[in-house]
Structure 1
Amino acid sequence: MNTEDTEAELNAVSDQRAIRPKSAAEVLLVFLKLGLTSFGGPIAHIGYFREEFVVRRKWIDEHAFADLVGLCQFLPGPASSQVGFSIGLSRAGYLGAFAAWAGFTLPSAALLVLFAFGAGALSGPVGAGLLHGLKLTAVAIVAQAVWGMARTLTPDRTRASIALVAALILLFSTSSAAQIGAIVLGGICGLWLCRSEAAAPSGHVDMPVSRKAGLVALGAFFVLLAGLPVLRGVTGSSGMALFDAFYRSGALVFGGGHVVLPLLREAFVAPGWLSDDAFLAGYGAAQAVPGPLFTFAAYLGTVVQPQPHGLAGAVLGLIGIFLPGILILLGVLPFWDSFRRRAGAQAMMRGVNAAVVGILGAALYDPVWTTTIHAPKDFGIALVGFVLLIVWRAPPLLVVAFSAAAGTAMALV
């Protein structure tokens, strides 16, 4: 009997060694595959991750995975990228975390840079129709996100009302300060009104990040957030201005990739760094590629008017928009397990998430709808795309192809 127990223990150890990556290179290869195939936005990405790392590879258990998803949805930044970064960190340390980020991010970033260089060559009716079709894709995608998030995050009157107030705040004032105010107000209202909704968390998060390293990362996050605008004003550097715009957008966005839209538009379109048409065409193209929607920053960095742009601008954009989410994640991970068990934290998260729904609903109207839907045929194309996504569960790539083809056909007719 003892011999059998010993053999079972040895087999269990052997199994654990078999599923453990040999190096960060293995993490890179796994995430590179996901970066090339993960279509559908952050919620879909989390589904891909669960299948790959919980079910298939068993790198992380169900409870720990749920903990990570909950944390990353609560923090500012790209939730799916933060989950991937955390999984890479837990499996192969800091090198594994970087490998996970690079493998998941760089494929879509490269495709969007290529689109940015080729978009200027699209002239005449065909090119104009194609770009307008990509903009119509954004209407369907954002509408789908509002629909799905509202059903999940605002299932009762209290949270629906929080979402409504947040939407009204953004509709009356589209500044980034208004968005921050709506999120803060949502958190306060959740803390006050949603305590009875809070459920006790389960599971445990174990990450190789010390409390000292976490405090350093948190300090860096806030120093950059406060210091970059000062450096921007003192130096007058256009490169510093661009990095500040990307960093601030990445630091202040809650709720995933789609919610960054109004922040980025305020940061780049309002000062005249690029046009609304170029902005929404790139946003539509971002739906056609796999990987995180935050790689839209690579497109913006490529086409933006101030120097540096092109490849240097794309690199600046990627670093600027992803860095704050990574810093605050590293800062919170050592303290999350104890904090998340407080009822107040759970209630505040519900209020913030409800406010995010309202912010996204306001963004659906302005700028997405107001700058894209100009005629009944535009609404018809967007409506077909929305039904394909919601009713037929069509992949976003198919909706992008349909919208682009329909836009081109309408232009020719």
Structure 2
Amino acid sequence: MDQGAETTAAPGSWAEVLWAFLRLGLTSFGGPVAHIGYFRQALVVKRRWLSEAAFADLVALCQFLPGPASSQVGFAIGLMRAGPLGALAAFIGFTLPSALLMTAFALGAASLGGAVGAGLSHGLKLVAVAVVAQALMGMARSLTPDARRAGIAVLALVVVTLAPPAWAQIEAIAGGVLAGLALCRTTAETRPEVLAPLVPQLAGLAALGLFLALLIGAPLLAQAAGSRPLAEFAAVYRSGALVFGGGHVVLPLLKDAVVSPGFVDPGRFLAGYGAAQAVPGPLFSFGAYLGAIMGGPQHGLAGAALGLAALFLPGMLILLAALPFWGALRRRPAAQAAMVGANAAVVGILAGALYDPVWTSAVLDRGDFAAAAAGFVLLTGFRAPPLVVVVLGAAFGIFRALHHI
């Protein structure tokens, strides 16, 4: 084993992993980038569960793959620390608090009616405008720093704006991969392998097989059986399988997956996304909210569990599939160039989502524009915590609704 991959403490138990990640799940606000910082401080600096080099290699791998990067990093650290049970404990500890909060919001929001409910929903939509705009600005700076990658982002924006929505996201990402292969090979950076394999190759291939079987087979089975719950699972799973570039990119993917077919009302969709900014832990806990409000016999708590599993599962399967082969893959310039192009494309995808559905559904007059702009400035200029913006946005929406202004 490479020395950089060794942990600096003896292997531990799943119980200590659960406790450490439960604390992180209760306190980690600020999105995936902030979560990585929390993980480093708690698990590398304080507990010394793994080295800086091993942690950096895990972060690089999870940013390379589709899925929720911070949750994937936590899952892999749990695997390193306490084996498969440790991986499961890390996932549960980090995800459970936000999943419960989002499920409670889904069930409680349904009972809110009249002006208060309408105002709360609209205020959270305005929060979503500010949050997505902030995410777009940050991603554009890091993922499209030159003309070639900016051009790929614009091309992806055109595709998602003009192409039929059913395949627009896939076409944009595929176009980004091809453009990256053609234009971005000089951006590839090769580093020596640090992370030792955590998963046997046979297990990795089995995970890849299951990932593909669910991605391809679930929609076909849902259509053949005429099952709405299975169709909803397949739609959310596909979104989780295609999320490159961070948690906020799941917004346009989920919008096409659950709003366009009529599984979820667009207003409730955006209200839930706004509320997700107020809770700690992974943004993918939004899946619990969606599962809880989608129709059919599986709604409520069972639906929340189904939605959560559908959104997280593909990212964890692809992580398990990649772990045995990561060292060799990362040294290939073609693979690095393809991911550079895909990451540039997600900037365009997020820009398209900022316009539709986020802007078109939330900003209805000058007052809404002013509120959304104020939230954006609070996030970017004053570095206000997202929770503060959520509270102010919700209060603004309720105030306007009660006073009819």
Bucket of the pairwise TM-score, normalised by the shorter protein: over 0.9
The answer to whether the Cα contact below 8 Å between 1:24 and 1:99 also exists between their aligned partners in 2 is yes
Partner of 1:10: none
Deviation, 1:298, is 0.5
Q: Partners of 2:367 and 2:254 in 1: how far apart?
A: 28
Written as runs of structure 1 = structure 2, the 5 A alignment for 1:110-121 is 110-121=100-111
Q: How many residues align?
A: 398
The answer to whether the Cα contact below 8 Å between 1:89 and 1:207 also exists between their aligned partners in 2 is no
Query: For residues 187-232 of structure 1, what are the alpha-carbon distances to aligned partners after superposition, in whole Å with 9 as ceiling and x for unaligned?
Result: 1111121111212224511243100100111111111111111211
Deviation, 1:176, is 4.2
Deviates more, 1:250-259 or 1:173-182: 173-182
Alignment partner for residue 273 of structure 1, among 263, 268, 275?
A: 263
Deviation, 1:238, is 1.9
Q: Partners of 2:79 and 2:166 in 1: how far apart?
A: 32
Deviates more, 1:52-61 or 1:329-338: 52-61
Partner of 1:381: 371
- Asked whether 1:218 is paired with 2:234, we answer no
Partner of 1:330: 320
Look up the SS of the partner of 2:60 in the other structure: helix
Alignment partner for residue 146 of structure 2, among 156, 177, 187?
A: 156
Q: Partners of 1:265 and 1:216 in 2: how far apart?
A: 30
Partner of 2:303: 313
Deviation, 1:174, is 5.6
Q: Partners of 2:107 and 2:373 in 1: how far apart?
A: 30
Q: Partners of 1:47 and 1:29 in 2: how far apart?
A: 18
Matched residue type, 1:156: D
- Asked whether 1:166 is paired with 2:166, we answer no
Q: Partners of 2:396 and 2:57 in 1: how far apart?
A: 42
Q: Partners of 2:220 and 2:190 in 1: how far apart?
A: 42
The answer to whether the Cα contact below 8 Å between 1:250 and 1:320 also exists between their aligned partners in 2 is yes
Alignment partner for residue 250 of structure 2, among 260, 267, 272?
A: 260
Partner of 2:217: 227
Q: Partners of 1:304 and 1:227 in 2: how far apart?
A: 22
Gaps of 5+ in 1: 1-15
TM-score computed with the length of structure 2 as normaliser: 0.95
Matched residue type, 1:372: A
Q: Partners of 1:68 and 1:174 in 2: how far apart?
A: 36
Alignment partner for residue 44 of structure 2, among 54, 58, 70?
A: 54
Q: Partners of 2:50 and 2:167 in 1: how far apart?
A: 38
Deviation, 1:152, is 0.7
Q: Partners of 1:20 and 1:138 in 2: how far apart?
A: 43
TM-score computed with the length of structure 1 as normaliser: 0.93
Partner of 2:3: none
* Gap change, CA 1:79 and 1:176, over 3 Å in 2: farther
Q: Partners of 2:386 and 2:240 in 1: how far apart?
A: 24
Matched residue type, 2:359: W
- Asked whether 1:73 is paired with 2:84, we answer no
Alignment partner for residue 287 of structure 1, among 277, 281, 286?
A: 277
Gaps of 5+ in 2: 1-5
Q: What is the root-mean-square deviation of aligned Cα atoms in Å?
A: 1.5
Q: Partners of 1:263 and 1:199 in 2: how far apart?
A: 29
* Higher alpha-carbon Rg: 1
* Fraction of identical pairs, as percent: 61
Partner of 1:11: none
Partner of 1:361: 351
Written as runs of structure 1 = structure 2, the 5 A alignment for 1:27-46 is 27-46=17-36
Matched residue type, 1:63: A
Deviates more, 1:122-131 or 1:161-170: 122-131
Query: For residues 243-268 of structure 1, what are the alpha-carbon distances to aligned partners after superposition, in whole Å with 9 as ceiling and x for unaligned?
Result: 11121111122122211112211121
Q: Partners of 2:126 and 2:9 in 1: how far apart?
A: 44
- Asked whether 1:393 is paired with 2:383, we answer yes
Look up the SS of the partner of 1:255 in the other structure: coil
Q: Partners of 1:21 and 1:393 in 2: how far apart?
A: 38
Partner of 1:296: 286
Deviation, 1:389, is 0.6
Q: Partners of 2:297 and 2:164 in 1: how far apart?
A: 26
Deviates more, 1:170-179 or 1:152-161: 170-179
Partner of 2:118: 128
* Gap change, CA 1:162 and 1:47, over 3 Å in 2: same
Look up the SS of the partner of 1:371 in the other structure: helix
Structure 1 runs of 4+ off > 2 angstroms? Answer: 16-22
Deviates more, 1:300-309 or 1:357-366: 300-309
Matched residue type, 1:235: A
Q: Partners of 2:324 and 2:166 in 1: how far apart?
A: 30
Q: Partners of 1:68 and 1:203 in 2: how far apart?
A: 11
Q: Partners of 1:47 and 1:110 in 2: how far apart?
A: 24
Q: Partners of 2:282 and 2:327 in 1: how far apart?
A: 26
* Gap change, CA 1:17 and 1:227, over 3 Å in 2: closer
Alignment partner for residue 403 of structure 1, among 379, 382, 393?
A: 393
Look up the SS of the partner of 1:370 in the other structure: helix
Q: Partners of 1:361 and 1:20 in 2: how far apart?
A: 46
The answer to whether the Cα contact below 8 Å between 2:40 and 2:55 also exists between their aligned partners in 1 is yes
Q: Partners of 1:228 and 1:17 in 2: how far apart?
A: 39
- Asked whether 1:180 is paired with 2:159, we answer no
Look up the SS of the partner of 2:198 in the other structure: coil
Partner of 2:338: 348
